[in-house]
Chains A and B, each alone.
Chain A
Amino acid sequence: MTETIVIAELNKNGVHPSTAELITAAQALGAQPTLIVPCVDASVADAVTGWNGIKGIVAAKSGAFEHYDAAGWASALDAVMPQGTIVTGASPQSKDLAARIAAKRNLPVVQDAISIDGTNVTSPVYSGKAMQTVSLSGAAVVSVRSNVFPPTSADGQASVSVVDTSGDVATSVQEFMARASTRLDVAEANIIISGGRGMGAPENFSHLEAIADTIGAAVGASRAAVDTWEAIPHSMQVGQTGKTVNPNLYIAVGISGAIQHLAGMRSSKYIVAINKDADAPIFQHADYGIVATWEEALPVLGSSLKAMME
């Protein structure tokens, strides 16, 4: 059985909880994985020693992990990883790293896995309009979408070894531009509420923000909304030429459901659509469809959610 390695998905507090799903994915590919935690301060690895099904944890410690640089991270990680099949998350940064590490080891890379059966790996292709299963005949790097594999349980006991490493960083940050908004980004959120041109005016997005604040969601938008209103930035756009998202819950408000919008969100676990047109294509993809104007539906949704969250 091939050795498997999981590279931890990170957030600002250390190891992202979705890493527990990567452990399950790695087990489906072969063996109990070694978990590699890229870090500046090795203590972040202590938070995950309870995860079940890990062979061991390597805290790969380097100043190179302060800021993301593909070349620097790939070299720093390559130096401390055993050979075998490598599993990463499928955030934009992790897919980039996956490709870079694969090339470093002359391995193929398969991105966005949503199902794994031995050496068969399935990913969406053609913007989710089809599914493709490939067969791996050797080691590979596989990035895995979040919210599809169950997380490993937390009743294990793994030990951490700290290894110092270094990488040659190839880019330099000239200026960091913090996001104008402090709101959660759609790419990082587990719940997204998005507005389309049907919201009528950019000010009306405040109704979406209020609900987002109640349930810890990010606010997204269709391209028509982004193109029509300057106040709605492209960073909020979901779809073919925006972000691909895979949340547990996606609420589409005043969005028709054009194929390019679906391309970015159709794999969401649950989809709610609010649209005044009963024939809007979005309803064919909704688990819960409400034919109503947002003016009618959002106040009810907002107050019900608020009552539930209290």
Chain B
Amino acid sequence: MIALVAPLAVTLGSAIAGAAADGALGLTPRGASRAPLLVLVTLVAAYLASTVPIALAILVLLAVATRARRARSPSLAPLPGLGFWIAAGALVLVCLSRPAHPILWDELVWLSKARLAAPWPSRLVRAALDPNGGVIPSGYPLFYSLASAWLGGFSSQRSAVAAGAAAFDALACVAFLGAVWDSKPGRRLGRVAIAVAVLVTCPIVLVHLRAAYVDLPVGLLAATLALSFEAPRPRAAPAVLAIALVGLKDEGLAHVLAVLAVATGFSAIRRSRRRLTAALVGLGCGATAFAAWRLRLASAGVPADHALNYVRFDRAAPLARMLASHARDRGTWGATLGLGAGAWIAAWARGRRAPGPSLRLAATLSAQAVALGLALLCGPDRLMEFAANGTLLNRLIVQLVPMVAALTASWI
């Protein structure tokens, strides 16, 4: 069991700082996902200040400039009650029941960077921007490692950074379930319960909930991003989530582009100017944060790990074969992928008669899968090695499982 005092104290402090920023700038919509978003606001601001301060300055100026036109939106959702917190608490408990020390390959890599970042991030940022700094993978965004260090109480202790990572995973779970709760009126607790059930009946998700791997948080925050457009006024939530996603992992950009492209299209169809603005602002903020980090890497002479190439269609057939081989592993996935496919087919079959956000979520899931597929076809040759030795495709599917959970739950 991990030590909880420091993560709780930092989370509370971040929420208070986020609430202060929210009070001044009106960043988040009301609802169940607001509290975790407030923590995320602080973490994202600290991340930008540490890595690309110019991007933070531009975004704060933009937020201040548009502040005058904002008014507090009415709450879509009633505040979540005991049932929500029991369901969310179950997932949080799984996250917090992780081993006190990292024991999986990549979590040791992520958290070795977190140790370097404690108590202050400058040492990690300097090493990441040094071609001989020894930070791997080269050029990777640093948000997860920095957030783990901060939430772990700014300590480089081996167990503290693991506790910080667990706190971040728990935060992503609560943000996701809050977004499921907020997504439409009526039977909110039923939807949350279904989303939790879909997640915990996928055995590999239980492994990732208790590990400092970034794939599940990416999936949870991408689904939260998609669901944030169910609020009548998403405000700056999509922007905050987009910056967090591109800071977590290179694939985060693919998710941001996919989710926000679909959100833009549906907002235009629904003639919702506020949602359309939020989607475009989110796209701009995500792209700015990603480009600013890549520019810093380029100016420091550090090669990015995932430099894009031209499309290699010859990879499609072997990748499809490997994907089919992985996806039929019942021990890893249970029936999650099959049930997700069924919910996806049902959404398209019923079209506009599908309930609430089902069709939008089905379209988003398709766009995410296409974006990840394109990233695989355009990525460096090493990706095919990773895919062949089994360390890539399953992780990408894990990134889609939260959207499958949201889609299945949306039918309630």
Q: Do A and B bind each other?
A: no
